[in-house]
Structure 1
Amino acid sequence: MSTPLRRDIFIMLFFGGLSLLFGSVKFYVPGVEGAFSDLREIPMIIGAFHLINPVFAIGLAVFGSLNTPPEASFLSTALFHSIALLVTTLIFKYVKRQGPGAIVLSLFGFFYTFAYYLVLIIPLLNLTGYLVGFNLESAFVDLYESTLFSLRFEMLSTSIIVGLYLLQERFRQSLRQYSESLETLVNERTKHLDETIKELKIRQQQLVQSEKMASIGSLTSGVAHEINNPLNFISGGVFMLEKIDADLQQNEPQKTKEQYASALNMITSGLSRITDVVKALASFSRRATSDVKETDVHSIIDNTLLFIHKDISDSIKIDKKYELSRHIPIYPEKIHQVLINLLNNAFFELNKLDDENKKIVIQTKQVNNNAVIVIFNSGSSISEENMSKIFDPFFTTKNPDEATGLGLSISYMIVKEHNGKITAENLDDGVRFTVQLPLQK
């Protein structure tokens, strides 16, 4: 059985049952044989409004007329209601297709109910009464006027109730449609938001990688400097080995032994320093993984300082206060990026000063359940106006050829990704950046 058919059967039975209930209290029309007043028309008209197939209007009329009293006529009652409800169902179907608003539909229901009585119910009631032998001695016009006068209160109450029902019904439909459209809109917006978030994450990764590559570019000269010094050691060691070879030929064993030890030490030291630089560079340039690792943050700080050694003038004192005694769960490559950005900015500010007592203090410690990294520099304070914008993307006080304005904003995003916190504050003697990272994954 199809859904519309089941729906119409339910409406026929439900509103037919209500008609029986509403028609159980009857008011007989004086002077008109076989006529009585009740409220059965209310559920009948409302049921006709909801029917899809007009044929079920006949079943509704028959079912709703089952409690017709013996002194009236069930045949007459069922017949004139069947005709009236069949016409009403067709009219309502047409009106609903026009899609009127709530007020218009309510007014239509009110006035149509009056017409329902004037044009359908009263004339059909009298005509079917003639057919079953009622009121044969009365003229149709006189009978019509008498019935109309007797049913005036039923007409008014039924018209008002039907009009109000159609008003709330249209409001209910509008609310359901609005709810469905709102749900659809929310789903669409949620889908769009998810896509936007995914795109932003991709953009964020691209920005982080772009800034990282920019940092690597700026560190190239520092790496070259760090590798050049140990290469000089190795070169000196090789030169000494050449001297040893010459001394061996001149039979100077003691001098040769001392030179050999010194050359070996120079070559070993140079190779060790080059190895450290290469390892540090590899740890920084390695593509970020998706795994959090328990990491010694001190090694990351030391590697970072090794990279930017060229920017550390003799007038800048670096004070390291490593108090943190445990490894912390982080994305190592990303935290490396944060420290590169913070220390680069610190050295940049200090290099602008003529003061000989310039210093950077790097401190690590544990505060409650957080690992705290503090980087202090004795440079100039950040203006109040700029303090609120330093973590904004593309904001920078440097010249366009010196910075992209992404370093601190990317650092901020990375720390937030760790569920941490990064802050900046002016002190009496400089600026302090504080990074808090949770000790639990």
Structure 2
Amino acid sequence: MTTTDLRVLRRDEWDAWYANLELAFGGVADSPEERALWRDLTEFDRMIAAWEDGGIVGTAGSFPFGLSVPGGAIVPAAGVTAVSVAATHRRRGILRAMMRRQLDDVRAAGEPLAVLVASEPAIYGRFGYGIASRQLYAEIDTARVGLRVPPGTDGVRLRRADPVAALEECEALYAHRVTSRPGMLRRLPGWERLGVLDPAGERDGASPLQCVLAESGGELLGYARYSVKPEWDLSGPRGTVVLRDLEALSPAAYAALWRFLFEIDLTSTVRAKTRPVDDPLLHMVTDPRRCGLRIRDSLHLRPVEVGAALAARTYTAPVDVVLEVEDAFCPWNTGRWRLTGDASGASCVRTDDEADLALTVRELGAAYLGGESLAALAGAGRVRELRPGALAEAASAFSSPVAPWLPHGF
């Protein structure tokens, strides 16, 4: 029988490794620009290759991020990426072996969280990942939907800018926004280039990437990056504005940017693919039924070290509960943990006290950022209340005043 060798990727193996990843995702090669960017961002000591008979049959890796959590702390998190197994090597335990190796390495690195964006959501629950945030898709009929904008919107100055030339100041604004919403990523240098990656062959008939800045008193208050896809029929123009990303520091700047997108000439649709589920835009549009709203899963999260993870965030209400945690894949988390905390901080330590709630690490991951309710999970039979009142206490404490949101994939 052949054996699979699992080891850290070498620099001279990257092209073969990435080609295997492309094959697993359909076999269409990425553009040279995208390929070059991902190579530049690769942390080689965090990438794994599974080898058999001299060829690569599995890939996995992670990026070092800081994840914003409730309370505004930035917690080290492994951004799991590039996971694939060759179609010829299914059901041989290769994925499980890579996940095992990876989580052991993440724990050794002192990162209490692991996060990922799943190509197929059904895969990762068995490794302890829960859906911790969701994202909003919108396709807005701007010919029929208007905006109610807040006072001060007319005082915001809009200015076109080259997306690359404005990248440094836009990235500084994004960095300022990270702690305002759980689930956002603190990025290492180089990651800002992902926001302006614009291969000509992947525009699908749309324009090159464009950028508009929102300013007041010489201060940058927001930006939007987008493209325009022209289209005509017998009745006239019906182009689409394709929004890449939009960030703003004030309601007026936010509204000014959206109003600009709604009013671009020769267009009748704004398409936004990745927005928070509680996006303020929902409270500005005049007709939400014509906004084509859809929600899907986004960030999947698992605590790698339960105690450190739960102690790293704050809680919106006082909480003192004993959690009976089951973690079959990372057994060091299994057992009882006493979580005490409030809006000023928290601690989470092992205890022999009687449990108040019983759940798996997957449910903890889902609830961790405050976007999924422990009470809703209990309604699905995934959390068990062992002390009357403990579920309401914990569900209230774990909640977040704003929905968690992942602004981009990795």
Bin for the TM-score computed over the shorter chain? under 0.3
Give me the TM-score of the superposition, normalised by structure 2. Answer: 0.18
Higher helix share: 1
Greater relative contact order (CA < 8 Å, ≥ 6 in sequence): 2
> Which is higher, the Rg of structure 1 or of structure 2?
1
